[in-house]
Structure 1
């Protein structure tokens, strides 16, 4: 039986143990592993050769022995967390720095957009978001101190932070670090945010801000030709406001970057106020980093731009009344304005502005002010190498999925839909992650006219929704159906991102309450 008290527990070795969780070394020079092919063996061997003083007998020949994974796991779980650091000393700093860099480097090569580091009472979890889906970047680490030191280092390195790291205080900052990416070695920029949690725990979330070095073309973000034409018509009009809504990570900033990139160099002055700048667009861009969500700084920058002869202006996300009124004021002065906000539909923009941000409905409904409201989300696309046909996917579905699929197809009664739709392969292949790779945009648009403004002024959102459909408005669910019919996205994946796609009416829901 492997004695965990005999395992060497230096900071650098513990980083290897926790990262791979398949190999350890004892003081008498015996490497125990459950996998002879593990990368940990060479890493541990190289480290011991560099620091032979860690062994009881520095001249002893290192041997490798295989044991069951359960024994390794049990030993790692029992590793002592008794070495506590109130401050990161020089020796610990090197090990923790390498630990952080390894996490970032691995995440970059996997194509993450965000990294989530979660600290619990007796565990540290490291996960990443790949193509919008959360997945573990390494097994959970059975130690609290591991995550605590990691948090401290990240904010030790961060710039433009609220303050030095304290475990009980919210903090935000930015990290700039050169890493090997699929496109080669380059500087990566991360927004880093910390939130305290119970049991002396907390969460650090890192957003890779410059994952894409250049903004994509407007024609290539997943919109239909009609969507692109509507946006271009607005962008080439005299004035007005375009608001792009969606959840966090739904591509709103990328969409605005795409249209601004298209507008530059065509005889109009362009300025952006961003928190922070994500793409280099070749126009005047100001990084307005708000401290603790205080919009005073954005207000000051927006006011200053009144003296800079701007034709097209873009503001970062609207969060409260001051930011929303800033946007409205600029729209009224005869500029083209772009901004973003969080809502769950295009119609929801009006309600959010009025009821949550307290913008007067009369101002929202002012003639020619609000021109274009957009709601969008990103949905994973199917792997072209291993996706499944309707017949092939049936054995992989559970009874609830089969029932919903059958009902959905019956309601549509579309032969071409059945023939063309494809599904993700749960086994995946070497080219994808569980049958899906990359993402596309689903979108809905409202081109506001005076009838729409009348509904907004009366706050009649249910009536407005009905009137929009009668005029031919296409909700985001219809865009999802179109891409499902083309075989680009999986029905069940799209349902995770789009309301109203696979839903039962209230009668069906209540009838299910007593089903056995």
Structure 2
């Protein structure tokens, strides 16, 4: 009889251990995709480790039980510590916030909540509703908050499902801002799945995924925040709202559109405090000689600076930074943008509105009657805008603008191709700045290694001389990418007499490039290789942005 009782107790104990392990595996399987994205190694590890332990226990008896009782909590703490490094502060487990939440939740279930509140006053314990306060506050365009808790003064009247989805959106924004994301993409996939990706340092990375009703509710919640029509899923929509993160405000531009699997959304995050434009031209990562030349150019009373590069290369930001070098109190500065990305003090900013037939050209004609000293034209898109801007540069104004072109030499031929007269180009344009954004190697984990012979040959180093450069590795500080932050790679073509004379004959791209090199211009690739030698970035990154 005693043997049977012992067998029952042991069987029950085994079942409890197996149930606890399985429950933990199920939790990890649901938690890891939300916090760690595509990293499935943890859930796979726990399943395999549990299966191996039960197999060994069956083979060798209970001698391994003490080892399991140590391994289980160690594995739990290891996973929790790892996931907390990647989770928003509102979803960490090893934190005072989570401990308070668990204490108050347990206290409310056993009826001693008031007693616990006496032990832990509100300023040291949980909020009145026993839920952690969201670190992110979402504000609609009119300034009213969209409350993920479904309450609060001025909050929107939301149903329970949408309110929970707003809370999820707050957590996504918190994680995105923590990872320095500039864009958030909500992309529908096969099987009623919604993939959340963030553009971090210019590269899209998978962050989270949702399925079923949760996916649809998240899209609807963001459309509510952006004042979009939640019932319209077949036509593109645009909207805007703001998020507050620890007192810092970010503007969010939202755009939605239909796809074959559902509705897709793209969210652009913009620092409304203008932090990105602080620091002047010196913060762009140029070498000293180029910086000095560019600072002299932007202080000239008239002329034109064209910044060129592909989409997402930081052209507009560079123009904003250039404006910050000018004394806004003594000069009248006007900008024409589509859309206005950053609000600047003491600068008049106008937005293009195609629906109202307010194009770059029409607004520019109007601006010229407002006695401007400096004009920023967001982009040259057609011959009319280019000609008006260049005429302004010849009549006592300094014009900043951008153009989609690969490099400085291509910019000149691009202007010729759209029909601009050579005499206008050679007289109006002062300089062309081409740029790319490259990721900066994480200072905590970058790895040194000897430069290959081909690289040493490109930078003009003898074959027998060793050069140490760096490559990416990945660590928690950079979220495993090996990079943290971005800097610029630049190419500056100053229009001197030789370049102006060359333009008259409609030169080829190569002819312009050779003349510029003869005058001392360093190409984009050469500027990039200099940053590789300095340990700022990697060869792979320079190849990626200059190919």
When normalised by structure 2's length, the TM-score is: 0.67
**5+ residue gaps in structure 1?**
3-14, 24-33, 53-87, 395-404, 500-516
Matching residue within 141, 157, 172 for 2:225: 157
SS at structure 2 position matched to 1:195: strand
Cα shift readout 1:285-335 (whole Å, capped 9, x = no counterpart): 31415457x872444432322222111111223334444344234223321
- Number of equivalences: 421
Is 1:360 matched with 2:420? yes
Is the Cα–Cα contact under 8 Å of residues 155 and 165 in structure 1 kept in the other structure? no
Partners of 1:108 and 1:483 in 2: CA distance: 27
- Which residue pairs with 1:128 in the alignment? 198
Matching residue within 231, 251, 256 for 2:314: 251
SS at structure 2 position matched to 1:423: strand
**5+ residue gaps in structure 2?**
1-17, 20-29, 37-41, 44-74, 84-90, 110-156
- Which residue pairs with 1:206 in the alignment? 268
Partners of 2:166 and 2:108 in 1: CA distance: 19
Partners of 1:152 and 1:265 in 2: CA distance: 42
Is the Cα–Cα contact under 8 Å of residues 210 and 279 in structure 1 kept in the other structure? yes
Is the Cα–Cα contact under 8 Å of residues 409 and 513 in structure 2 kept in the other structure? yes
Distance change in 2, residues 1:361/1:190 (3 Å): same
Deviation of 1:146 (Å): 3.8
Partners of 1:133 and 1:418 in 2: CA distance: 35
Matching residue within 468, 475, 485 for 2:533: 485
Partners of 1:371 and 1:439 in 2: CA distance: 27
Deviation of 1:47 (Å): 12
Partners of 1:322 and 1:174 in 2: CA distance: 31
Is the Cα–Cα contact under 8 Å of residues 336 and 352 in structure 2 kept in the other structure? no
Is the Cα–Cα contact under 8 Å of residues 413 and 508 in structure 2 kept in the other structure? no
- Which residue pairs with 1:222 in the alignment? 285
Is the Cα–Cα contact under 8 Å of residues 456 and 463 in structure 2 kept in the other structure? no
Partners of 2:458 and 2:163 in 1: CA distance: 61
Cα shift readout 1:116-143 (whole Å, capped 9, x = no counterpart): 22112322111112222322222x33x2
Distance change in 2, residues 1:379/1:231 (3 Å): same
Partners of 1:331 and 1:304 in 2: CA distance: 15
Matching residue within 361, 368, 380 for 2:439: 380
Cα shift readout 1:45-87 (whole Å, capped 9, x = no counterpart): 79998999xxxxxxxxxxxxxxxxxxxxxxxxxxxxxxxxxxx
- Which residue pairs with 1:118 in the alignment? 187
Partners of 1:99 and 1:336 in 2: CA distance: 47
Deviation of 1:218 (Å): 1.4
Is 1:346 matched with 2:408? yes
Is the Cα–Cα contact under 8 Å of residues 298 and 325 in structure 2 kept in the other structure? no
SS at structure 2 position matched to 1:390: strand
Partners of 2:405 and 2:34 in 1: CA distance: 38
Is 1:169 matched with 2:169? no
Partners of 1:411 and 1:306 in 2: CA distance: 48
Structure 1 or 2: larger helix share?
A: 2
- Note the 1:228-267 alignment, pairs <5 A: 228-265=291-328, 267=330
SS at structure 2 position matched to 1:343: coil
SS at structure 1 position matched to 2:438: strand
Partners of 2:491 and 2:456 in 1: CA distance: 23
Is the Cα–Cα contact under 8 Å of residues 386 and 424 in structure 1 kept in the other structure? no
Matching residue within 68, 93, 99 for 2:162: 93
SS at structure 2 position matched to 1:494: helix
When normalised by structure 1's length, the TM-score is: 0.70
Is the Cα–Cα contact under 8 Å of residues 387 and 425 in structure 1 kept in the other structure? yes
Distance change in 2, residues 1:40/1:390 (3 Å): closer
